[in-house]
A and B are shown apart, each in its own frame.
Chain A
Amino acid sequence: MITSSAKRVGALAFAAAMFVAACGGGSSSPSPSAAAATSSSSAAPASAGAAASGVAGPSACVDGSITTSGSTALQPLVDAAGKAYVAACPKSTISVQGGGSGTGLSQVLQGAVQIGASDITADSKLKPDEASQLVDHIVARQGWVMVVNRGVTGVTNLTTQQAVDIWTGKVTNWKDVGGADQPIVLILRPASSGTRATFKKVVLNGANEAAGQALTEDSNGAVTQAVSSTPGATSVIGFAYYQSNKDKVTALALDGVQGSVDNMLSGTYKLQAFGHLYTKGQPDGLTKSFLDYMMSDPIQKVLIPSLGYAGAGQ
């Protein structure tokens, strides 16, 4: 190669800039909430961070450093809660990573992280003797919503039976469920994803999806992109993603019930599941303090509804 190294560096820098630009919207990469920094007060007053995030901090601080990984569906919640905690307690560090439910479960089991976030229970992904070492902390409920391409007309609601017929490949045209004459393009999440597992259990009642006639996309973002650009497409995405893409896709009601936090709380909307934070054995130190904070009113009553989740307790 007869180029100067400066040219190469320039090309790399350009590439890096492109990469940053391209990934600006994504959130799956590790995002350390904050680092313990300049603050000199050791016992930070609990209310100090209230202004930073609009959410009150924990009642008592515990110093230390923990890492969480796992479910990307729960990541925005854990990340926001971690930021609120660290804003009030600058001597603590809470690093929130994604990776998927399976990654969270196996890393917490190995001790690589202190908290593993999962959309589904540990016993469905781990052996019984492994799952029994983990302690489940249910911190929230998350909902999903069926969405269609904006060009799909005449369909605003699907009954459970219609959804089963579409997802199992029995119905392949929108005209059979009250819409226009247009083929249905079914878009699935990977078989291992928590979204697909929940939909299969709650709506399909265990029936197998027609994967041989469907497309598969990896993430909420990719699914939203595919549904918004493919005529006749339908899929399932998380509430939070629907809220930020309302102008790109149309939501369908399920059995006449609109997907919303209120309907999730009242129990009438069934496409929902618990969000689990797992620890290996009983938590202590900062891990316990953070999990207690997750269950406190500022998170359960303020942060969680604002992000499109529902509180865990009822």
Chain B
Amino acid sequence: MTAPTRTLRVAKPGFRARLDPARRITQAAAALVIAIVALILAFIAWRGIQLFIDAGVAVPEILSPTWQPDPDSGPTTFGLLPFIVGTLEIFVGAALIAAPLSVGLGLFMAEVAPNWARRITQPAMEVFVGIPSVVWGFLGAVLLVPVLRTNFHFTYGYSMLAGQLVVALMILPTITSLSYDAFLTVPRDMRAASMALGTTRWQAIRHVVVPAAASGVMTAIVMGMMRAAGEALAVQMVIGNRASIAFNPMSPIQTLTSAITMDMGNTTPSQPWNMALWTMGLVLLLMSLSFVLLVRRLSARRPAE
């Protein structure tokens, strides 16, 4: 396509225009955010490698399944594997439970629900998002854990599944709201065009709306998973915090976040134990970063509509 060429006579901009305060302010804000993120990354990375530099722990040791950080209990081993596995189990499990429910709910709200239903579900979701994690954890410990123990014959009730369910509930509104937004951004014309070709509403949703909103929905799920991976308090209150690798959903497990919050206040920066907690923070950060990058790659590869 060739645009008709024409010469524009542009006056030399005045000082005010060159200064362009709005643009400068937004640039400064963007730079500030980038600087803060970079500084946090650098700080956590620096504290996270002290375990290897200052305490002299060999890097492969953190992949050991044994966590024995207390020098008073014998030789120390700073194996982070139980926590890494536990964190993966929580956030993958929570996403598997929450994603179908919440994407479905988002679809319902965007495509199916009559106005009055939307007027109820939407504020309900907003309130849902605002419920703090300590409340979820408390409800989980007081209601869910005893039910799992008495009705489902879990040994303790405090278990991987309890953590996954609590976190699934926590991320449900996040994924719902974001996927709802993603469905809303699909232009009305596309639905109309599809219907005009004689499709049913379900066919329009399935073949037009969902594919068009797919990358937005993917982002919604990833945002939910990120919240799940970083959640500490609610998880800690229901998983039993046992630092051993377990794959049975009925077993107690421990995550990186719960290990950090439990020991951070009771250790001092001069203890290798404390340094290992910073290493856990670094590992968690790297896990979420690599996951974000992975998903971005996956959704970028999706053929354009």
Contact = CB atoms under 8 A, between A and B. Distances in A.
Report the 4 A-B pairs with minimum CB-CB distance, sorted nearest first. A100-B265, A15-B130, A192-B266, A216-B241
Contacts of A125: 267-268, 270-271
A19 B135 contact: yes
A233 to B, nearest CB: 9
A37 interface: no
B263 A230 contact: no
Interface string B6-23: 000000000000000000
A103 interface: yes
Interface string B141-166: 11001100100000011100000000
Interface string B115-135: 000000011001101111011
A20 to B, nearest CB: 10
B273 interface: yes
Contacts of A190: 241, 262-263, 266
Given A7-B123, A191-B263, A193-B266, A216 B271 contact: no
B181 interface: yes
Interface residues of A, number: 50
Given A15-B132, A100-B265, A211-B243, A230 B156 contact: yes
Contacts of A11: 123, 126-127, 129-130
Nearest to A201: B72
14 contacts: A1-B177, A11-B123, A11-B127, A15-B131, A22-B134, A23-B134, A100-B266, A191-B69, A194-B266, A215-B158, A215-B240, A229-B145, A230-B149, A231-B149
A313 interface: no
Given A18-B135, A194-B266, 20 more contacts: A7-B123, A11-B123, A11-B126, A11-B127, A14-B127, A15-B130, A22-B134, A101-B265, A106-B270, A190-B266, A192-B273, A206-B72, A212-B242, A214-B242, A216-B242, A216-B243, A218-B236, A222-B141, A229-B142, A230-B149
Interface of B: 69-70, 72-74, 122-123, 126-127, 129-132, 134-135, 138, 141-142, 145-146, 149, 156-158, 177, 181, 184, 236-237, 240-244, 252, 254, 261-271, 273-274
A75 to B, nearest CB: 12
Contacts of B145: 229
Interface of A: 1-3, 7-8, 11-12, 14-15, 18-19, 22-23, 98-103, 105-106, 109, 124-127, 130, 185, 190-194, 197, 200, 206, 208, 211-212, 214-218, 222, 225-226, 229-231
A74 B32 CA distance: 41
A226 B72 CA distance: 27
B243 A102 contact: no
A99 B134 contact: no
Nearest to B244: A212
Contacts of B157: 230
B137 to A, nearest CB: 9
B259 to A, nearest CB: 9
A212 B132 CA distance: 31
Nearest to B271: A125
A126 B269 CA distance: 8
A127 B272 CA distance: 11
A215 B266 CA distance: 18
Given A3-B126, A216-B240, A103 B265 contact: yes
A218 B134 contact: no
B56 to A, nearest CB: 15
A127 B130 contact: no
B74 to A, nearest CB: 7
Given A130-B270, A215-B242, A216-B242, A99 B265 contact: yes
Nearest to B159: A215
B126 A191 contact: no
Contacts of B72: 124, 197, 200, 206
Contacts of B127: 11, 14-15
A126 B272 CA distance: 11
Among the interface residues B177, B241, B263, which one has the most CB atoms of the partner chain A within 10 A? B241
Nearest to A69: B265
A124 B271 CA distance: 10
B158 A101 contact: no
Nearest to A28: B265
B126 A7 contact: yes
Nearest to A233: B156
Nearest to A125: B268
Contact of A105 (B240, B252, B263, B268): B268
B129 A19 contact: no
A22 B268 contact: no
Contacts of B70: 191-192
Contacts of B236: 218
A14 B125 CA distance: 13
A1 B177 CA distance: 8
Contact of A127 (B69, B134, B243, B270): B270
A226 B236 CA distance: 12
B24 to A, nearest CB: 26
B132 A191 contact: no
Contacts of A105: 268
Given A3-B122, A215-B241, A216-B240, A22 B135 contact: yes
A225 B135 contact: no
Contact of A192 (B132, B252, B263): B263
A222 B237 contact: yes
A181 to B, nearest CB: 16
B274 to A, nearest CB: 7
